[in-house]
Chains A and B, each alone.
Chain A
Amino acid sequence: MVMLEHSGQFLYADLVSGGANRPIWSRKQIEQVIGYILVAPLLCWMLVVLIYPIFSLLALSLTNTRIIGAPASFIAAENYVATLQSAPFWASVARSLVWLLGNIFLGTVVALAAALLLRQSWLLARHARVWILLPWVIPTVAVSVIWQWMLNTNYGVINIALQHLAITSAPLNIFGSRQLAMVGVIVANTWHWFPLSAVVMFGAMHNIPADLYEAAQIDGANSWQQFRHITLPSIEKVLFALGLVGGLWTLNVFDTIYLITRGGPSDATQTLPVLIYDTAFKGQRIGLAAAMSVVAICLLAALATLYARIAAPKEE
């Protein structure tokens, strides 16, 4: 062991000094090389699982492939022209934006409210810090079934409650209505994902120094003013990161929508991922769906850049 350590020290010193106290590589350069060596496996892995599929997708989008394994020919940019001229494609882009904004708005409000409640020192709040994660750990399939039942027209508990409270006179056909179906899937998705955001926000709030609030109280600030001028600015960076990552996740959600409405009724919840799936596997146009995916990636990148420009917290 002593020998090994000694040997290791010797080699390291040798590299730095060149064996005769002449430096070949600086310590910084050696650390850089080691860094690259350590990162290399990850880069290779990313090359396999990320770059190859993207190039494969690009290649597919230039062909008229209809079914996996069936012969196809090169058709240049025809699929891209068809995508950009497709009314259903742009309609699904619009629906995706509604889906995104609905989820971001509702998800942020609910998560923020939950995080504020978790911050309290009540016994219930302390227990809730663990149990709040429950909706998040439930599999999406189960979440979809739960919400299909809860919002069911005939026996759904929410419809029954709305009628008992005299908010509605007849049961709402939520997943059978063009206007309400999107609201229904947004509510289900928010319920599934808000705990994660709430816990992250709670963590960020936990790091705010208590003396800030004490000073504000001494200055006569009420709860709203404390929230507006201390809490919110302090978690601004976390909110930005959640908005960016959560937004990209939300736009890519397929399972919740497909399991609850399959994109219906009458395509009312057919967001981009659902349209791409339908085009590829139901419409048997894999090449066209690949082109739609490439355009969707570009749109997502543009949206993320725009968001970063507008909403990024300003460094003081």
Chain B
Amino acid sequence: MKKLRLATAVAAIVFSIATPSFAQQKTELVFWHQESPPNRVEAYQKLIDKFNAANPTIEVRQEVQDWGTIFQVAPAAIGSGTGPDILMAMPELGTYLRATGAVQPVSDFVKELDGQYHFLAAATDPYHDGGQYWGVPLWGMVQLLWYRKSAFEEAKITKAPATWEEVAEDAAKLTKGGRYGITLPASKTTATDQTFFSFLKTYKGENLFDADGKIIFDNPNAVRAVTTYTDLLKYAAPDSTNYAWGEPEAAFNSGAAAMLIDKGIMLSIFLKDSGAPAEDLGCAPIPEPAEGGQPGSHYASNAAMILTKDPAKQEAAKTFIRFLLQPDNYGPLLNAEPGLFLPVTADGFKLASWLADPALTKWPECTALLAKQSESGGLYGFTGGMYQINIGPIAGQNIIAQVIQKVVIDHASPKDAVAWGADQMRAAIK
């Protein structure tokens, strides 16, 4: 009896010691992203729970960060050894974080996934430098011209504008009775940078750098784009200089503005915020200049960057990213914000699990247009196959947006404002 008790006690001690060691074998992954709206966090959590249940040896934990502070928080966390294992980044943030030496190359992994799902070049190019891929794109974002059909009917405008000249003409007709023809951001924010970049792209002024990395922003195409943008601001609310993302969307949804240039998020928020029927929302490709233009829009892909140097964690991170791109999971990931997050793979655009979302089924033509516009999209610093590591300080200081403010607030001519902007860019990368 004594022996049995002794054996039981020894077994209990061994088991109690052994149990934690089994638990410690779990690979823990800290996953940072900056998608803080509750619906997005919830969608992520559902996928993470599903992944953790299916992979008992890996434990993924999401930590939500803020886009406004990520440029300060991430390097500080990496420097102090408390950074994440995986971080969702835009290309500008990617260039910034690479300077810390923490970002791991993932070329073989991207090639493996490309073989399976066929990435869009516009999504992978901004993460390709020095013969290596530095991130795995998971979704893209592109802009369209959105308009209120009821306002167009009231102003007897029968079709969506296809050129910037038509936009100006329509905006003039639509501006009346407390309603503005168009709403555009003109604050010193990323919202203005990105919206204006759609203009720059269509005016063929998208290359801020030449092949040698020299600033070539001061060119006639950029001047034409600035002229058009600031001319259109005459048909926008006078406080557009304070507008970032939320204000133009609110103005459009409330009916205070008839046209808007924005991402596919309109499909998520229009019904909820406007109270108008789905038929009132129209969409069109980003207009082009009547002469000498090209199709284009701001397009940015978000990629998962692996920051851990631990080989076991790197493998676990790849398992998690593979899981997110699987057809059953990719649709729910994209529909964390339907319309805003677009597939970055050719196969993704055909995914039933993505297309089934009610926000997308209501506007199938807009969903198709978002996919088409993605093909001609681009991002400052990463156009023409370039990868400009110096884009960080230019984007960070919103120099593109400041050019618009120079004209609107300081009443500089577009030519002088563009020249000033080019000087600022040169100083920023010096």
Q: Name A residues whose Cβ lies closer than 8 Å to a Cβ of B.
A: 66-70, 152-154, 171, 173, 175-178, 262-266, 268, 278, 281-285
Contact = CB atoms under 8 A, between A and B. Distances in A.
A153 B392 CA distance: 33
Given A281-B71, A283-B393, 15 more contacts: A66-B99, A67-B100, A68-B75, A68-B79, A171-B238, A175-B241, A176-B238, A262-B187, A262-B188, A265-B187, A266-B410, A278-B397, A282-B396, A283-B397, A284-B392
B96 interface: yes
B373 interface: no
B72 to A, nearest CB: 5
B242 A176 contact: yes
B72 A281 contact: yes
Contacts of A263: 188
Contact of A265 (B99, B188, B397): B188
Interface residues of B, number: 32
20 contacts: A66-B99, A68-B72, A69-B99, A70-B99, A153-B237, A173-B239, A175-B239, A175-B241, A175-B242, A176-B242, A178-B409, A262-B187, A264-B187, A266-B405, A281-B71, A281-B72, A281-B396, A282-B397, A284-B393, A284-B396
Nearest to A174: B239
Nearest to B392: A284
B314 interface: no
B184 to A, nearest CB: 13
B239 A153 contact: yes
Contacts of B99: 66-67, 69-70
8 residue pairs, one from A and one from B, having the closest CB atoms: A69-B79, A176-B241, A153-B239, A282-B396, A70-B99, A68-B75, A266-B409, A69-B100
A279 B197 CA distance: 23
A69 B79 CA distance: 5
A284 B74 CA distance: 13
B238 A153 contact: yes
B162 interface: no
Nearest to B75: A68
B188 A283 contact: no
Interface in B58-79: 71-72, 75-76, 78-79
A285 B393 CA distance: 9
Contacts of B398: 282
B388 interface: no
A173 B397 CA distance: 24
A66 B429 CA distance: 11
Contacts of A69: 75-76, 78-79, 99-102
Contacts of A281: 71-72, 396
B196 to A, nearest CB: 15
Q: Give the dominant DSSP class at B's interface.
A: helix
B4 to A, nearest CB: 57
Contacts of A264: 187-188, 241, 405
B118 interface: no
B232 to A, nearest CB: 16
A283 B428 contact: yes
B402 interface: yes
Contacts of B102: 69
A173 B238 CA distance: 7
A70 to B, nearest CB: 4
B76 A68 contact: yes
Contacts of A171: 238
A265 B237 CA distance: 15
B189 interface: yes
Interface in B226-255: 237-242
Nearest to A156: B239
Most chain A beta-carbon neighbours within 10 Å: one of B99, B402, B406: B99
Contact of B241 (A265, A278, A283): A265
A262 B189 contact: yes
Nearest to B398: A282
A178 B237 contact: no
A270 to B, nearest CB: 10
A265 B76 contact: no
B33 to A, nearest CB: 20
Nearest to A148: B242
A49 B57 CA distance: 42
Contacts of B71: 281-282
Contacts of A67: 75, 96, 99-100
Most chain B beta-carbon neighbours within 10 Å: one of A173, A262, A265, A285: A265
A310 B108 CA distance: 70
Contacts of A283: 393, 396-397, 428
A180 B257 CA distance: 25
Given A68-B75, A283-B396, A266 B402 contact: yes
Contacts of B188: 262-266
A177 B410 CA distance: 9
Contacts of B187: 262, 264-265
A283 B428 CA distance: 7
Contacts of B396: 281-284
Given A153-B237, A264-B187, A265-B188, A284 B78 contact: no
A284 to B, nearest CB: 5
B101 to A, nearest CB: 8
Contacts of B406: 266
A216 B145 CA distance: 74
